[in-house]
Amino acid sequence: MATQMEHARNGIITDAMRVVAEAEHQDAESIRERVARGVIAIPANVNHKNLRFGGVGEGLRVKVNANIGTSSTFPDIEPELLKLDEAVRCGADAVMDLSTGNHIDESRRAIIGHSPVMVGTVPIYEATVEAIKRHGAVVDMTVEDLLSTIEKQAKDGADFMTLHCGLTRNAIERLRKEGRVMDVVSRGGSFLTGWMLHNDKENPLYEHYDELLDICAKYDVTISLGDGLRPGCLADATDQGQISELLNLGELTLRAWDRGVQVMVEGPGHMPFDQIAANMKLEKQLCHGAPFYVLGPLVTDIAPGYDHITAAIGGTMAAVSGADFLCYVTPAEHLALPTIEDVHDGVMASRIAAHAADIVKGIPGAKEQDLAMGKARKILDWEAQMKLAIDPEYAKKKRGARNPEDEGACSMCGDYCAVEIVNQYMKK
C-alpha cells in the first residue's frame, strides 16, 4: 500500500489531501505538491479508522498537540480518555499517548479507537517498561524488543511516532565534552543514552533505521524524529549536543523521504527568547524544510505552575520563525501529571500562540477572525464576541460573573466606556 508521500509523488490527490485542502482553504494540487516534497506531512495510519485528516507543515495553520497517557502512579485509562475529549473539544489537532502505566497496549488501543484526531506514540516507553519486566533492566533491552514494539504500535494505528534515531554516541560524546547543567531530560533520550553507555553500542534506532522505515511505510506512519538531547534549561540551549543531533536528523529525513515515509522533526525545549528564531531557521535549513514540531520553547526556567504561559510566549516566536506544530505545555509541567483542567489551559495557551503566529504568517482566515472581533467590539455586540472567542464558554463565564445581565458596556469602565462615548459622538 502506498503512503501519502508516494501517492503525491505519483500525481495522485488522495482523500486526505482533499480534506486538508478544504480545511486550510487551499488548492488540493498545492497540498499534493508539498506532500510530495515532504514539507507537509499528513499523519494518517491506514489502521486509524475514525481519523479526521489533518496536515502539518509549510503554508498551513500552525497545529497544536496535547500529551495524555497513564503513569505508574496513575495507571487508570478512563481519566486519560476524558482528557482526550477535553483536548479535542478545546481544539487540539493531535494527541500523543505517553502511557507508562499498567496495560500500555490497552491504553493505546483505547486512545486510538477513541480519538478523531491524529495520535502519536513514543515506542521506547513501552519497550523500556517491557524490558524491565522481561529482563530486569532497561539496559538489557534487545533490538528485537524495540522493533517489535514499533511494529505493534504501527499495527494498532499510531499516526506518528517519536523515534530518537538521531541520538548517536557521537552526539552524546559532544555533550559530555562540552558539559551541561541538566544533561539529558528527554525520557526516551535518557533510556537510549543509558543503553548505549552501558552496552558500549550505537543507538539501535540509528543502526536499524532502514527496518524502521519498512515498518512505517507499511502502515503509513509518519516518523517524528525525536530530539533526545533537547535542552532542559536555558543554560543548555543551542549547545553541541543539540546541534549535532539536529545534523543527524537532517540526514535521516532524506533517508526517510527516499523510502516514501513522511517525516516531522522535533525541537526544543528550554531556550532563551533571543535564540528561538535562529534555531527554527537552522532546523528548516538542516532538515530540508521538513515540518518542525516543538515543545514550547519555554523561555524561562523559573515559572513552575505557569509554564503554559512560558511555552506560549516561546511558541509564538517559534511558529512565526518557521515551526509548524506546537506541543502544548500545561501548568503542571515539571510538577505533576496534568489534570483535565491543566489540559484545557495547556491547549488554549498553545492555540493562542499558534493563532498569533498564523496572523503574521498570512494563513488564510486568521486575520479575518480578529477583524470580525474588532467589528463586534465596536458595536458592543456581546453575542458575536462570545462566538468569536477562542474559548467561548470561559469568556461567557467571565462576563456573566462581573456584569449586570442587561449592561451594554463591561464593568471595567461602566458609565465611562470609551467605545460607547466615541460611538455616541461619531454618529453626530
Q: What is the pLDDT of residues 325-348, one digit of tens each?
A: 999 999 999 999 999 999 999 999
Q: For position 321, what pLDDT does the model report? A: 98
- The 10 Å CB-count burial string (b at 16+, else e) for 213-233 is bebbbebbbbbbbbbbbbbbb
Q: Judge whether 320 and 360 are in contact, CB under 8 Å.
A: yes
Q: For position 403, what pLDDT does the model report? A: 85
pTM: 0.95
pLDDT band of residue 427 (cuts 50, 70, 90) is confident
Q: For position 102, what pLDDT does the model report? A: 84
Q: For position 416, what pLDDT does the model report? A: 79
Q: For position 1, what pLDDT does the model report? A: 82
Give the chain's end-to-end CA distance (angstroms, integer). Answer: 69
* DSSP designation for 60: S
Q: Judge whether 424 and 379 are in contact, CB under 8 Å.
A: no
Binding residues for [4Fe-4S] cluster: 410, 413, 417
Binding residues: 67, 96, 125, 164, 186-188, 227-230, 266, 270, 293, 334, 410, 413, 417
Q: Could you tell me the maximum CA-CA distance found in the chain, to the nearest angstrom?
A: 83
On average, the pLDDT of the chain sits at 95
H or E element at residue 17: helix 15-24
Which comes out higher in pLDDT, residue 278 or 408? 278
User: Cell 503566529 identifies what position?
Assistant: 357
H or E element at residue 405: none
Does 358 score more than 90 pLDDT? Answer: yes
Q: What angle do CA 126, 130, 133 make, to 5 degrees?
A: 150
Q: For position 86, what pLDDT does the model report? A: 98
Does 56 score more than 90 pLDDT? Answer: yes
Identify the three-state secondary structure at position 253.
Answer: helix
Q: For position 400, what pLDDT does the model report? A: 87
Angle between helices 187-199 and 169-178 (to 10 degrees): 100
Does 113 score more than 70 pLDDT? Answer: yes
Does 215 score more than 80 pLDDT? Answer: yes
Which comes out higher in pLDDT, residue 415 or 346? 346
Domains of the chain: 4-361 (3.20.20.540), 366-426 (no CATH)
Residue 243's Cβ-count burial label (10 Å; 0-12, 13-18, 19+) is middle
H or E element at residue 95: strand 94-97
d(C-alpha 272, C-alpha 332), whole Å? 21
pLDDT band of residue 428 (cuts 50, 70, 90) is low
153-182 mean pLDDT: 97
Q: For position 72, what pLDDT does the model report? A: 86
Q: Judge whether 68 and 31 are in contact, CB under 8 Å.
A: no
Q: For position 409, what pLDDT does the model report? A: 80
Closest CA to 224 of 293, 307, 124: 293
**Amino acid letter, residue 262:** Q
Binding residues for Zn(2+): 270, 334
d(C-alpha 21, C-alpha 27), whole Å? 6
Q: Judge whether 122 and 111 are in contact, CB under 8 Å.
A: no
| Number of helices (H), then strands (E), in the chain | 19, 10
Q: For position 405, what pLDDT does the model report? A: 74
- List CB contacts of 113: < 8 A, sequence separation 6 or more: 50, 157
Does 164 score more than 60 pLDDT? Answer: yes
pLDDT band of residue 417 (cuts 50, 70, 90) is confident
Binding residues for substrate: 67, 96, 125, 164, 186-188, 227-230, 266, 293
37-61 mean pLDDT: 98
* Grid coordinates given for 301: 526556567
Q: What is the pLDDT of residues 218-228, one digit of tens each?
A: 999 999 999 99
Which comes out higher in pLDDT, residue 27 or 424? 27
Percent of the chain, pLDDT > 70? 100
